[in-house]
Structure 1
Amino acid sequence: MAAGTPVWSSRFAFIMASVGFAVGLGNIWRFPYVTGENGGGAFVLVYLLFVLAIGVPCVMAELMVGRRGQSSPSQSMAKVAEESGLSRFWGGVGGLGVFTAYTISITYAVVVGWVLWYLIQAVMTGFAGYDAAAATSSFNSLLADGSTMLVMTILGNLIVGSIIYAGVTGGIERAVTFMMPLLFALLIGLGIYNMFAGGFGETVRWLFTPDFSKIDGSVLLAALGQAFFSIGVGMGGMMAYGSYLPANFSITRGAMVIVLADTLVALLAGFVVFPMVFNYGLDMGGGAGLIFQTLPVAFAQMPGGHIFAVLFFVMLSVAGVTSMVGLLEAVTSWTDQRTTLGREMSAVVVVGSVTFCSIASVFSYNVWQDYTLFGMNFNAASEGLYDKITLPLGGLLIALFVGWFMKREFAFSELATSEQTFGVWQLLLKFVVVPAIAIILITGLI
C-alpha cells in the first residue's frame, strides 16, 4: 500500500461504499420506468443477462486497476500502463472518468435536490389530496422555481461535501455503513408492505413472466444501456474506491457482491413502485416523471400513505447522496494528488465548483431554457455529452486496456483467482464487454 494512501477499515465498509456508489437514482428512479416502457419481464430477463456478462467484468477491471495503481483514477491508469510497457498517456482514460464524474455531478446534484424537496413535502403533507393534476402542477412549479431548486441543490451538496471532507474512514465509511443498511431495510420493508396493500401479484407476473415477442432491437439496447450505466463504471468512482483496497481483498467476490446488490436494489425498487402503479391504475410507462408525478398520487390514496411517502423519499435521498459521494470522491482524490490543496480543501473546491456549475443546470429548467447550443440547452447538452460520449467511451477504453493491453500476469496477480475463472473473465471482457460498449457508443452517437 502506497504511503499516505487511506485503506478501508473493513470489507463491509468497502462493499457498502461501492454499493452505495453503484446504487443510485438510476436503480430506484430509472429502472422502474425503463422497465415499464420496455415491456416488463422480457426487459428484466435481458437486463439480468447483460448485468452478469458486462457488469461483473467491468467492475472487476476498474477495481483491479485502482488497487494496483494505488492512486487517483488517472494516476492509477498511468502507473499500470507504464509497468505494462505502455505509454503513460493511458492515464488520460482515468482522467476522462474523472471528467465524466464531474460532469454528471453537475446535473445529478439538481435531481438530488428534487428528491430532498419531495422528502420535505412528504414530511409536511404526505401528499394529502393530490390527484394527477395536482402532482403534475407541483412538479412543474418546482422546475419553474429556480431559487427553491438552487437552495435544495446546495443542501444536497452540503451533505455530500461534509461526508467527503471528513475523509475515507471518518466520512465515507461512517456514512455508508449507516445509510446503505438503512436503504436496504427501507426497500425490503416497503416491498413487504406492498405484499399486503395490493398489486404485488401483478408485479411478480409483470417482472418475471417474459413475453419474448416484445424483445426487439430497442429493448436490447435499453437493457444494455441500463446494465452498463447503473453499475457506475466509466466514472472513476470504482477505480478510486479500488485504490483504497488492501491486498488480501478478493476483487472477484467483491465485484460479484457489488453487482448483485446493485441488481437486487433495482428489482426491489420494482416491488416498491409497480404494486402502487397496478393498485391505483397509474401509467406503467410514466417515464421519468413516474417517481415525482405519478407516485405522489398513490401516496395520497393509500392507507398510511403519509408514512409510506416519507420512508420512500428517505430511501431515494440515501441513494442519491451515496452516489454523489462516489462521483465526487473520484474528483476529490484527483484534485488532492494533482494540487497542493490537501484533502480537505480539495473537497471544498470540488463540491463548491460543482455547486456553482449546477446553477446553470437549475436555470436551464426555467429562465435559461430557451438559451441553446446546437438546439440543446445546458442540461440536454451536458447529459448528451456524458450519456452518449464520455461515459461509454471511458468504459470502452478501460475494457480495451485491461482486456487487451495490460500484462496478463499483473491482472492475474491482482485477481488472485483460478485459471478457469480468470480465463472466463478475460474472454468476457475482450469479446463481450468491448463489443457491447462499442454498440452503446455508436448508437448513442448516431
Structure 2
Amino acid sequence: GGLLNQQDIPGQFGAFVSDPLKNILWHSAFMALVVFVVARGIHKGLEAAVRFLMPVLFVMLVGLLIYAMTLDAFGDALHFMFKFDPGKLTADAVLSALGHSFFTLSLGMGAIMAYGAYMNRGDSLGSSVVTIGILDTMVAIVAGLVIFTIVFSNGLDPAAGPSLMFQTLPVAFSQMPGGIVLGGIFFTLIVFAAWSSAISLAEPAVAWAVESTNLNRVVATLLVCLPTWVLGIGCALSLNAWSDFTILGSNILDFLDKLTTNIMLPLGGLLIAAYCCANRYCYCDV
C-alpha cells in the first residue's frame, strides 16, 4: 500500500470535491450509465450481478471489521456508537433517525416497489421485510464500527458526514498488504451498489410513464433522469463554486438531503401505507 500517503488522503478527497469540472464530469458519466440501463430495460443480468457482487462487498466489509478490531481505537468506536446519551434524544435527532431509516431501507421512494414487482408469487413478503431489515442494520453497524475505528485511530473528525467513508477506508487499505488492489475492488463495488440503487429509483417513474402515456422507454427515461442530472449538477457545484449559495442556511446538497431524507421519505412512506390500508392492499403474510 505504498502508493498512498495516508496523511494526504483527506486532503486528496477535499481537493477532488473542490474541483467543479471533475464533479460534473463524474456525475454526468454516472447518470449516463443509469440512463443506458433504464432506457434498455432492466434485464436479469443486472439482478444476477447484484446477487453476486453485493455479498462480495459484505464479505470485504467483514474483513475490514476484523482489521478494525485489531486497532486500539476499536473500543472508542464501540463507545461512540453505542453509548446512550438521553440529552441528545431531541426531536431533531428522532426526525433524522426516522429519515435515515426510510433512506437506508429505500422506503417512500418507489425503489422497494420496483424490486417487489419482480418477486415470485410464492415468496413471503413478511419474511423478506424482516430479513432486509436485519441485514441492513447489520451492514450499517459493521460499516460504522469500521469507519469510526479508523476515524479515531487517525484523529479525524467523526462529524464529517458521508465523506468519512472516502477519507477513512483508503487509510485502512493503505495499511494492508495488497491494499491498493483490495481498495480498488471495494470502491468499485460501492460504485456498483450506488449504480444499481439509482437504477431502482428511476425505474418506477419510467415504468409509470411508459404504461400511462404513449412515450417510448428512451424518451421516458430521459424525461425522468434529465431533471435529476440538473439537480445533481447543483449539488456538485454546492461543494465548490456555489458553496456560498444557501437555502434556509444550507447549501444545495445539504438542503436537498434534509428535504428528501427527513421530510419527503417519511411523509411519502406514511402516505403510501395509509393509501394501501384505505384500499385494503395490506399484505401481512409472514
Contact 1:191 1:272 in 2 (8 A): yes
State the shift of 1:235 in Å: 0.5
Aligned equivalents of 2:247, 2:100: Cα separation in 1: 27
Residue 167 of structure 1 is aligned with which of 13, 16, 41? 41
Q: TM-score by structure 1 length? A: 0.55
> 1:267 maps to which residue?
141
> What do the CA deviations read for 1:170-197 (whole angstroms, capped 9, x no partner)?
45423322332222232223333444x4
> 1:206 maps to which residue?
79
| 2:251 maps to 1:251 | no
> 2:17 maps to which residue?
143
Contact 1:276 1:295 in 2 (8 A): yes
> 1:332 maps to which residue?
206
Residue 152 of structure 1 is aligned with which of 22, 26, 33? 26
| 2:71 maps to 1:227 | no
Please tell me the residue identity of whatever aligns with 2:9. Answer: A
State the shift of 1:252 in Å: 0.5
Residue 290 of structure 1 is aligned with which of 164, 171, 185? 164
**Which SS does the other structure have where 1:247 is aligned?**
coil
> 1:415 maps to which residue?
284
From the superposition, tell whether residues 216 and 375 of structure 1 become closer, same or farther in structure 2 (CA, over 3 Å).
closer
State the shift of 1:281 in Å: 4.5
> 2:183 maps to which residue?
309
Aligned equivalents of 1:143, 1:157: Cα separation in 2: 18
**Any residues of structure 2 matched to 1:41-440 within 5 Å, and which?**
128-131=4-7, 134-195=8-69, 197-199=70-72, 202=75, 205-206=78-79, 210-214=82-86, 216-218=88-90, 220-301=94-175, 304-373=178-247, 376-403=250-277, 405-407=278-280, 410-411=281-282, 414-417=283-286
State the shift of 1:275 in Å: 3.4
Aligned equivalents of 1:223, 1:389: Cα separation in 2: 12
State the shift of 1:251 in Å: 0.7
From the superposition, tell whether residues 298 and 143 of structure 1 become closer, same or farther in structure 2 (CA, over 3 Å).
same
Aligned equivalents of 1:206, 1:376: Cα separation in 2: 30
Further displaced range: 230-239 or 179-188: 179-188
Aligned equivalents of 2:153, 2:207: Cα separation in 1: 46
Please tell me the residue identity of whatever aligns with 2:165. Answer: I
Please tell me the residue identity of whatever aligns with 2:71. Answer: G
Please tell me the residue identity of whatever aligns with 2:59. Answer: A
Aligned equivalents of 1:221, 1:373: Cα separation in 2: 20
> 1:438 maps to which residue?
none
Contact 2:99 2:262 in 1 (8 A): no
Contact 1:126 1:309 in 2 (8 A): no
State the shift of 1:374 in Å: 5.1
> What do the CA deviations read for 1:198-219 (whole angstroms, capped 9, x no partner)?
34852784378x4344564235
Aligned equivalents of 1:385, 1:220: Cα separation in 2: 15
Contact 1:371 1:377 in 2 (8 A): yes
Q: TM-score by structure 2 length? A: 0.81
Which one has the bigger helix percentage? 1
Please tell me the residue identity of whatever aligns with 1:162. Answer: F
> 1:64 maps to which residue?
none
State the shift of 1:304 in Å: 4.5
Aligned equivalents of 1:198, 1:376: Cα separation in 2: 36
State the shift of 1:299 in Å: 4.2
Aligned equivalents of 1:357, 1:271: Cα separation in 2: 32
> What do the CA deviations read for 1:391-423 (whole angstroms, capped 9, x no partner)?
2221221233334x233xx53xx4345xxxxxx
The unaligned stretches of length 5 or more in structure 1 are 1-124, 418-446
Please tell me the residue identity of whatever aligns with 1:306. Answer: I
Aligned equivalents of 1:384, 1:286: Cα separation in 2: 16
State the shift of 1:152 in Å: 0.8
Please tell me the residue identity of whatever aligns with 2:126. Answer: T
> What do the CA deviations read for 1:252-285 (whole angstroms, capped 9, x no partner)?
1111122122112112212432332344444444
The unaligned stretches of length 5 or more in structure 2 are none
Contact 2:40 2:217 in 1 (8 A): no
**Which SS does the other structure have where 1:415 is aligned?**
coil
**Which SS does the other structure have where 2:276 is aligned?**
helix
